[in-house]
Amino acid sequence: MWRWGRHWKYRENYNDTGSDDMLYLSEAGEGKVYVMLGVGGGQRLRQKLYSMGLNPGVKFRVITNNGRGPVGVEVRDTRLAIGRGMAQRVKIRENGS
């Protein structure tokens, strides 16, 4: 959706990370290592993810992602299940990109 004025960053194809290789956690492949870029949600969502150890810049490995249900990740020797709705708001890039 495209809007004028102060909503300019909600237009289509806007990428606030400045990198073309950004994707969302819900699109991640199993077994690969990624780096978290940020969260495209509200303060409560960011707080919840940060308290679980998913902070911007942290490296993590995707354990399971079958396209339905939660996404399994391993971050700092801890395994987490991130709900699909939350995973669709977590911005990541592949490690080494």
Predicted confidence band of residue 33 (pLDDT cuts 50, 70, 90): very high
Q: What's the 3-state SS for the chain?
A: CCCCHHHHHHCCCCCCCCCCCCEEHHHCCCCCEEEEEEECCCHHHHHHHHHCCCCCCCEEEEEECCCCCCEEEEECCEEEEECHHHHCCEEEEECCC
pLDDT digits (tens, 9 = 90+) for 49-86: 999 999 999 999 999 999 899 999 999 999 999 999 99
Model's pTM, two decimal places?
Answer: 0.76
Q: In the chain, where are the structural domains located?
A: 20-94
- pLDDT recorded at residue 26: 94
Predicted confidence band of residue 21 (pLDDT cuts 50, 70, 90): confident
Superfamily of domain 20-94: Ferrous iron transport protein A (FeoA) (2.30.30.90)
